[in-house]
Amino acid sequence: MKKLLILGAGTAGTMMANKMRKKLARDEWDITIVDQFKTHYYQPGFLFIPFGLYTKEDVVKPKSDFFPIGVNVIYSSIEKIVANENKVLLADGVVLNYDYLFIATGTRTAPEETPGLKDKLWHKEIFDFYTIEGAVALNKFFKTWQGGELVVNIAELPYKCPVAPLEFVFFADAFFTERGLRDKVKITYVTPLPGAFTKPRATKMLGELLKSKNINIVPDFNVAEVDNDNKKIIDYAGKEVKFDCLVSIPTNMGDALIERSGLGDDMNYVLTDKHTLQAKDHKNIFVIGDAANLPTSKAGSVAHFASEILEENFMCAIEGRPYTASFDGHANCYIETGYGKGTLIDFNYDTEPLPGSFPFPGVGPFGLLKVTRTNHYGKMIFRWLYWHILLKGREMPIDSEMQMAGKKL
């Protein structure tokens, strides 16, 4: 029996377990997946929790609901990947050997990387919304908050789901308007980027949207520390922004396991070939999802598109053929803009988000870089698709390769 080992049972790892079990003969391939946690979180749903639009129950299911029959599941933390010996050490001295390894250990928030962030105001007046605990604590706080300076700060690039902080401020604008508190809440978006987003057209469109909603933006701000006593964030150049409520997108890091295994960059992301998805220097290791150091978004859509590439290239690898699939960095993000509307961006390594229609040229139904009601429904429907189609490795009605048709240059 040949052994395929998958580390991490989040979005990417679970998808791959489902895809590969269907693809690989059961009498030839043994598939094992390892994760330390038993709960699967629908992470795109965290954003909705602070505003009472989703509850915790809406975003939580047991991981075991999504594993196919015929895959070994081990709940354990992972000590180390010994790549040169094709083995993985788990906690308690368990050793797993593999012929091929998929690393899908994701990324996590690391608030401890910023001095003062996880201090006495943590989850009291300073929150994150990238963890269930943070999102729930913020929901509780917003219920009684009477207003003040609401500051949303991105600590460092890259971070998971790059549009989520923008959606957060759009939601906050609508939320406090509906509560009759908007004139008492000053919303400020503080980012290390030179504008609302990275690429010119999306930055312009989203920047104008921020302005129209009376949300201030402080660009080029690289936070160095959080001053809990005077309630302000300070950047390396000495700039300061005061807050009454700070919502932080903390530094993101890959799993510490990657550092222990000597496979990562200085953020613990695995060094990965951006087209083949093969780990650098290790032919029998592939990397999928946020764990990889690919120069694209850390997002579920990227993991999904990459999963189809990985499936194809893995089959090439085991059959001794040259790789036939090449990942283009495709990302596709629905952006909630509040009041039941949303916008959409679709891009890859080489093409910035452009206006147009998606997925059918000229027809849509979704509008790229446009604020529409249909885009919002797309995001709402996505939760169902996620649980029932995407995680189970079933076919989604979107091409893994980004399409230029329908986009306007």
Partner 1 sequence: MATKTIAGVNINVNEEGYLTDPSEWTREVATEIAKEEGIELTDKHFEVLEFIRNKVMNGEGLTIRGIGKSGIVDAKTFYQLFPGAPLKKATKIAGVPKPVSCI
In the complex, the smallest distance separating the C-beta of residue 196 from partner 1, rounded to whole angstroms, is 12
Q: Does 159 bind partner 1 (CB under 8 A)?
A: yes
Beta-bridge mates of residue 364: 360
Contacts of 259 (CB under 8 A, 6+ apart): 268
In angstroms, give the least distance from the CB of 237 to partner 1.
Answer: 5
In the complex with partner 1, the residue whose CB is nearer, 79 or 273, is 273
Site string for partner 1, 101-140 (x = CB under 8 A): ----------------------------------------
Residue 95 C-beta: closest distance to partner 1, Å:
31
- Whose Cβ is closer to partner 1: residue 68's or residue 158's? 158
Least Å distance, CB 265 to partner 1, is 6
| By CB under 8 A, residue 162 contacts partner 1 | yes
Task: Yes or no: say if 257 and 291 are a contact pair by the CB < 8 Å rule.
Answer: no
- When asked if residue 165 is in the footprint of partner 1 (CB under 8 A), the reply is no
Cα torsion through 49, 188, 332, 390, rounded to 10: -10
Please state the closest distance from residue 324 (CB atom) to partner 1, in A: 24
Least Å distance, CB 345 to partner 1, is 11
Please, what is the minimum distance in Å from the beta carbon of residue 157 to partner 1? Answer: 6
DSSP strand pairing (100-103 vs 107-109) = unpaired
| Given 193, 218, 315, 385, the residue binding partner 1 (CB under 8 A) | 193
Strands (E), 112-267: 126-127, 148-154, 185-190, 216-218, 223-227, 232-235, 240-242, 245-249, 252-254
Other CB atoms within a 10 A radius of the CB of residue 43 amount to 20
Residue from 158, 186, 227, 316 touching partner 1 (CB under 8 A): that is 158
Stretch that binds partner 1, among 191-199, 240-248, 317-325, 397-405 (CB under 8 A): 191-199
Q: Looking only at residues 333 through 362 of this chain, which bind partner 1 when binding is defined by CB under 8 A?
A: 349
| 32, β-bridge pairs | 5, 72
Sign of CA dihedral 118, 107, 299, 201: positive
Instruction: Please give the Cα distance from 289 to 10 (Å, whole number).
Output: 9
Tokens of 344: 């959409």
Q: Which of residues 264-303 bind partner 1 (CB under 8 A)?
A: 265-267, 293, 295-298
Measure the CA–CA gap between 196 and 243, rounded to whole angstroms.
Answer: 20
Interface contacts to partner 1, rule CB under 8 A? 156-159, 162, 193-194, 197-198, 220, 222, 224, 236-237, 251, 265-267, 293, 295-298, 329, 349
